[in-house]
């Protein structure tokens, strides 16, 4: 039976050993895959602790998870946040093609090279990558799956809005950081505009006096519909998810138009063993909108699996 998590907010009491982790910055490492492409990842905490791997959504970077990764390291976990291929500082495909199956193989290679069986936290495309990785391509690779505002049968209108936002400035870029902030604000009006725009640079590249998103435009342009082809086949993704047997948590943004309340209910009906958190005040970008609530949900779920 599906369990709706009840979150408890209490001060974290750290042991003397864990106190040493509080001020440790992430170690950024480059991981070269078999085909020569490089993935860049931040490693947080002690490598001997329980591992948690974070996969961001399409058009995002590993920096989306910084607050949660640090919190997990402070409570005795080993967190790894990765730039997917074509995103952030990781390599781009020479052929401009990005399938979920490729992301899943990349993730499997990374996990295997590290000798880990981590919990996997995946937002949007990262969550679908986790479904495919564990469901059909490499079962047994992960110990649990946390889906962040993504289900196999997502709301088409919400998905189209995400694609439209990503495609609008993919090639043209922006004249200034103010333009970037304006575009983000129009897409995500409930999130406060950042006071310091310098933080936006982590998701951008400057070229010839303009700012461009820090991801390969081919990722969203690889078909008329946009995005990896598997994402556009809900029946296929539902069959993949049906093969996932590890403990699963769905974290939805209550204001999300990608995973509607009806969509979440449908997912839970098909997967009654899954746990569920509906985060008030958050949209599709749950971790960025309500990071404290999101982190609490992740920690509580992982704690029960120890």
CATH number for the domain including 260? 3.40.50.1820
Establish if 31 belongs to a structural domain. Answer: yes
User: Is 21 a residue whose pLDDT tops 60?
Assistant: no
Establish if 190 belongs to a structural domain. Answer: no
Pairing of strands 50-55, 119-123: parallel
pTM metric for this prediction: 0.89
pLDDT, tens digit, 9 for 90 and up, residues 144-177? 999 999 999 998 888 888 888 988 898 999 999 9
Ramachandran angles phi, psi of 237, nearest 5°:
-65, -35
Cβ 107 vs Cβ 133: under 8 Å:
yes
Establish if 272 belongs to a structural domain. Answer: yes
Contacting residues for 305 by C-beta, under 8 A, at least 6 apart: 119, 143, 144, 247
- What is the three-class DSSP state of 296? helix
Establish if 223 belongs to a structural domain. Answer: no
Cβ 214 vs Cβ 88: under 8 Å:
yes
Establish if 205 belongs to a structural domain. Answer: no
pLDDT, tens digit, 9 for 90 and up, residues 168-178? 898 999 999 99
User: Is 18 a residue whose pLDDT tops 50?
Assistant: no
pLDDT, average across residues 173-191:
92
Establish if 132 belongs to a structural domain. Answer: yes
State the residue range of the domain holding 123.
3-160+230-304
Per-residue confidence band for 250, with pLDDT thresholds at 50, 70 and 90: very high
pLDDT, average across residues 89-109:
93
Q: Chain-centre distance of CA 301, in angstroms? A: 17
**Element housing 132 (H / E):** helix 125-132
pLDDT, average across residues 297-302:
96
Structural domain tally of the chain?
A: 1
Per-residue pLDDT at 163: 86
Q: Token pair of 208, please?
A: 């010839």
Establish if 168 belongs to a structural domain. Answer: no
Establish if 265 belongs to a structural domain. Answer: yes
How many Cβ atoms sit within 10 Å of the Cβ of residue 51? 23
């Amino acid at each position: 039976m599906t369990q709706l998590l009840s979150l408890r907010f209490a001060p974290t009491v750290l042991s003397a050993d864990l106190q040493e982790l509080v001020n440790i910055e992430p170690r950024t490492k480059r991981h070269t895959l078999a085909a020569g492409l490089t993935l860049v990842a931040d490693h947080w905490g002690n490598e001997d602790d329980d591992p948690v791997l974070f996969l961001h959504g399409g058009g995002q970077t590993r920096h989306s998870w910084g607050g949660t990764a640090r919190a997990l390291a402070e409570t005795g976990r080993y967190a790894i946040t990765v730039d997917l291929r074509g995103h952030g500082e990781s390599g781009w495909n020479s052929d401009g093609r990005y399938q979920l199956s490729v992301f899943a193989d990349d993730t499997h290679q990374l996990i295997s090279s590290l000798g880990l069986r981590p919990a996997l936290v995946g937002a949007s495309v990262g969550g679908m990558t986790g479904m495919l990785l564990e469901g059909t391509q490499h079962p047994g690779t992960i110990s649990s799956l946390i889906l962040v505002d993504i289900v196999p049968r997502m709301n088409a209108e919400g998905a189209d809005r995400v694609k439209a936002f990503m495609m609008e400035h993919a090639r043209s870029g922006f004249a200034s950081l103010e333009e970037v902030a304006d575009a983000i604000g129009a897409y995500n009006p409930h999130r406060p505009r950042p006071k310091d725009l310098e933080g936006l640079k982590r998701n951008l590249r400057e070229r010839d006096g303009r700012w461009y998103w820090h991801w390969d435009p081919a990722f969203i342009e690889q078909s008329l519909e946009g995005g990896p082809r598997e994402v556009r086949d809900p029946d296929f993704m539902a069959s993949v998810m049906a093969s996932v047997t590890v403990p699963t948590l769905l974290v939805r943004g209550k204001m999300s138009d990608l995973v509607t309340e009806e969509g979440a209910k449908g997912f839970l009906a098909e997967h009654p063993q899954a746990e569920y958190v509906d985060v008030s005040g958050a949209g599709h970008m749950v971790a960025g909108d309500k990071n404290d609530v999101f982190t609490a949900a992740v920690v509580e779920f992982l704690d029960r699996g120890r």
